Structure 1
Amino acid sequence: MSNLEPNPEEKLNFLTKPFLFYPVLLFLFVFAFDKIFFLDKVRDYVKVELTYIYYDVKQELLKEMISKFGKDVPQRSDKKLVLLMGSSRMLYFKNQEILDFYPDWEVYNLSSAVTTPAYYLYFLERLFEAGVKPDYLVLEADPFQFNANSTTFKKSNLAHSFDLRFILSHAWTLGKENVNYYLANFFFGVSKNKPYLENVYAHLTNKKFEQADLIKQLTIDSLHKDKGNALSPAGGFMEKDYGRLEASSVRTIGWIYPKYSPSEMQFSFYEDILEEVKSRGVPTLVVRPEVSLPLEKILKDLNIPAPWWERIRPINDGFGIPLVDMAEATDYDCNTFADSGHMAVDCYRPFLRFLRIRYPKN
């Protein structure tokens, strides 16, 4: 037999043919290199906006609440623990006003951009298992949080919230697509923080990013100091131009209400939340913050709110948990907006008073 002809009795294995290790080594190298995209410094360069900061700080505030109000705390604070959970529509309360007007309250705000019932349930599960029982829980509910065709659940909640235990324990409800999306972001940095070179170039060449690190740290410090309440990016601005509110409404519809269809997944999580708080005796109020008239009109024309109300009200009634449309509330009156879907900061003081009125007396 020629020396060039393969010996049929020779077995291919890692000992006789070391080159078989090469694909394994290449995979391990790529997998290890990928982890640099989890680094904060790298993430700052590939991300154009800093929304993820809010989600990161909320995770830290979760740990802070557990350390102060959990079952292992030797002496619980005498203040009443008030927990706010919503979207950016509930994000801009002024912490100093809370301290000034309601010194007996300790308010934590876990609201963040485009949150959903799944987001609420994750935090509540972690708080309850740690022995934290809020004295007052305020949740936001709005049709956009229940839209099956919105991509914001993936891009916001799945991308920045939850832990592996929550995903696996609720895998059946979340579905294969959402579980796979989370796992990809969990294991691979290039999936979670996609390395778009144009974003890196913008950060290196655009002067507006020169102070990005300072802005980021100031935002983090402010969120910690104010227990999750944020400074409004619009400041004290009120939009007085009706035409601008109409234009903003069209953009909002395209962003968070596109091709509206009820999400059975989010309704399932919502019922899980109400069942949890009811069984644990947590005083709970669910509110739908007011939006501008142009946005409400478009939503009505699209027949989005009415079917949502018809479905969600019986759920709340079944658990005996109030659900209040603030646009219809007789003890709340504020009609100024920063844009079509966000009340102006001046409305947060009457909003806070509205919540205080409904604080459980016992």
Structure 2
Amino acid sequence: MKSKPFLFYPVVLFLFIFLVDKIFLLPVFHDEFLQAGNSVFYFQRKVLAKRLLSDKDSQEKKLALVFGDSRSYPFSELGIPEPYNKAWTLYNFSSPQGIPMNSYIQLKDLLDSGVKPEFVILSLSPEAFDDNKGFILSPFLRMGCDKDCLDIVWKDIPLKEKWTFFLDKLFVIRSVELNLSLFSSRLKQGKLREYKSRYNQEFQLINYSKGEYLIYGVQSNPIEKIKKDTLRIGSLYMSSYTVGESQKPYVEAFLELTRKNQIKTLVLWPKVYGDYYKYYEKFRIKEVWWEPMETLANSYGAYPLNWNKPGTCDLFNDASHQSAFCFIDQMKEIWVNYAEK
């Protein structure tokens, strides 16, 4: 062995990489290290929760909270119709790929901190219930779930995702998901400080109001663009589909919390573009997923609402997201028929 030291080279290289990787354990990479998209939103939602606790309006007015994924980003206090807008305030905690686990943890933490909403919207998407799509669960586990959260949800995490989570702990750079292209760009432009929220324009935009994100405010994108997007997300999310077991318990736990605290609750299925909905029809999503959710909502005294039907707004930003212009009339529908019912 002494005559063949090169046999140790792979071991030495591995140990070197392993030690360098531990640089990413430093707090600077975890407390506030904003890259783009997901990390900005998940950090902002924590900031938003603190703002809500100190907001006098939320104590003097009726409080509405929104939970879910990006399909519910545009729900905004600005959309509450007259005369109800004078009596209400709204905070939107929707998160990228906001699975029911995330919504439940967010609501539980807010209630535990003393927040008392009058009305809650829980937006659900069938894609979040497919346990075979591990990338849907990943953002929540990496950025929205602390140790206390893990103690609650760990038993329901699919085995494959537990292994991925273990690897993220072993090789920390995986959990950071360092965007090298963004790092290089910020380094060249002298904008490394944009990793901090104070200097991050995307964070400032989201943080300007109460969590809503109106970037989907175009009236409608060209049909050709939306059709291309349909093929892209269809192959990503709906090449196969199976309703898993991990998320339903957290819809039920969410509804149990709202019933226990006497909070009026709307369980919403946002509308998707017609060509994308054909994927839903292929896998009988309405029958195998929505109807059980509808039954569950009714059993807890919540209101179920399916917007994937004729007569609802047909303006789309992309195949998965309605235009924010849709939410003007839809917010009126919600407040007249549910919030103020």
TM-score by length of 2: 0.81
Task: Give, as a single letter, the amino acid of the residue that structure 2 aligns with 1:39.
Answer: F
After superposition, where does 1:152-231 map in structure 2 within 5 Å? 152-179=135-162, 181-182=164-165, 185=168, 189-195=172-178, 197=180, 200-204=183-187, 217-231=200-214
Cα distance change of structure 1 residues 170 and 154 upon mapping to structure 2, 3 Å threshold: closer
Structure 1 position 325 matched with structure 2 position 306? yes
Structure 1 position 57 matched with structure 2 position 40? no
In structure 1, distance between residues paired with 2:201 and 2:78:
17
Cα distance change of structure 1 residues 106 and 171 upon mapping to structure 2, 3 Å threshold: same
Cα distance change of structure 1 residues 239 and 28 upon mapping to structure 2, 3 Å threshold: closer
Cα distance change of structure 1 residues 334 and 32 upon mapping to structure 2, 3 Å threshold: closer
Cα distance change of structure 1 residues 314 and 80 upon mapping to structure 2, 3 Å threshold: same
Task: Give, as a single letter, the amino acid of the residue that structure 2 aligns with 1:352.
Answer: M
Cα distance change of structure 1 residues 231 and 313 upon mapping to structure 2, 3 Å threshold: closer
Task: Give, as a single letter, the amino acid of the residue that structure 2 aligns with 1:356.
Answer: W
Q: 1:100-153 CA distances to partner (integer Å, 9 max, x unpaired)?
A: 861321100001221111011111111122222210000111211211111333
Q: Indicate which of 244, 262, 269 corresponds to 1:263.
A: 244
Q: 1:196-252 CA distances to partner (integer Å, 9 max, x unpaired)?
A: 6555445445x7x899679963332332331101130x54251242x4333211212
Contact 2:22 2:172 (8 Å CA) reproduced: no
Cα distance change of structure 1 residues 306 and 170 upon mapping to structure 2, 3 Å threshold: same
In structure 1, distance between residues paired with 2:98 and 2:256:
19
Task: Give, as a single letter, the amino acid of the residue that structure 1 aligns with 2:43.
Answer: D
Cα distance change of structure 1 residues 187 and 134 upon mapping to structure 2, 3 Å threshold: farther
Contact 2:259 2:300 (8 Å CA) reproduced: yes
In structure 1, distance between residues paired with 2:179 and 2:225:
32
Contact 1:135 1:283 (8 Å CA) reproduced: yes
Q: Percent identity?
A: 20
In structure 2, distance between residues paired with 1:27 and 1:113:
31
- Aligned residue for 2:63, secondary structure, equals strand
Displacement of 1:177: 4.5
Cα distance change of structure 1 residues 84 and 271 upon mapping to structure 2, 3 Å threshold: same
Task: Give, as a single letter, the amino acid of the residue that structure 2 aligns with 1:84.
Answer: V
Structure 1 position 356 matched with structure 2 position 335? yes
In structure 2, distance between residues paired with 1:204 and 1:249:
35
In structure 2, distance between residues paired with 1:249 and 1:285:
28
Q: Indicate which of 278, 284, 306 corresponds to 2:287.
A: 306
In structure 2, distance between residues paired with 1:324 and 1:83:
17
Contact 2:65 2:121 (8 Å CA) reproduced: yes
TM-score by length of 1: 0.77
Q: Which moved more, 1:35-44 or 1:347-356?
A: 35-44
Contact 1:223 1:230 (8 Å CA) reproduced: yes
Q: Which moved more, 1:305-314 or 1:276-285?
A: 305-314
Structure with max Cα Rg:
1
Q: Indicate which of 15, 24, 43 corresponds to 1:34.
A: 24
Task: Give, as a single letter, the amino acid of the residue that structure 1 aligns with 2:251.
Answer: Y
Contact 1:94 1:229 (8 Å CA) reproduced: yes
Report what 2:74 is aligned to: 92
Cα distance change of structure 1 residues 215 and 240 upon mapping to structure 2, 3 Å threshold: farther
In structure 1, distance between residues paired with 2:293 and 2:81:
34
Task: Give, as a single letter, the amino acid of the residue that structure 2 aligns with 1:338.
Answer: N
Contact 1:34 1:190 (8 Å CA) reproduced: yes
Report what 1:16 is aligned to: none
Q: Indicate which of 45, 49, 62 corresponds to 1:80.
A: 62
Report what 1:125 is aligned to: 108
Contact 1:150 1:258 (8 Å CA) reproduced: no
Displacement of 1:175: 4.7
Contact 1:149 1:259 (8 Å CA) reproduced: no
Displacement of 1:318: 1.9
In structure 1, distance between residues paired with 2:58 and 2:279:
47
Q: Which runs of 5+ in 1 are unaligned?
A: 1-25, 70-74
In structure 1, distance between residues paired with 2:154 and 2:115:
25
Q: 1:27-80 CA distances to partner (integer Å, 9 max, x unpaired)?
A: 997576332484379945xx5x332101101011122223448xxxxx972211
Contact 1:138 1:287 (8 Å CA) reproduced: yes
Displacement of 1:265: 0.8
Cα distance change of structure 1 residues 302 and 201 upon mapping to structure 2, 3 Å threshold: same
Contact 1:91 1:230 (8 Å CA) reproduced: yes
Structure 1 position 103 matched with structure 2 position 86? yes
Task: Give, as a single letter, the amino acid of the residue that structure 2 aligns with 1:110.
Answer: F
Displacement of 1:279: 1.9
Contact 1:85 1:120 (8 Å CA) reproduced: yes
Counting matched residue pairs gives: 324
- Aligned residue for 1:264, secondary structure, equals coil
Displacement of 1:192: 1.7
Q: Which moved more, 1:129-138 or 1:212-221?
A: 212-221
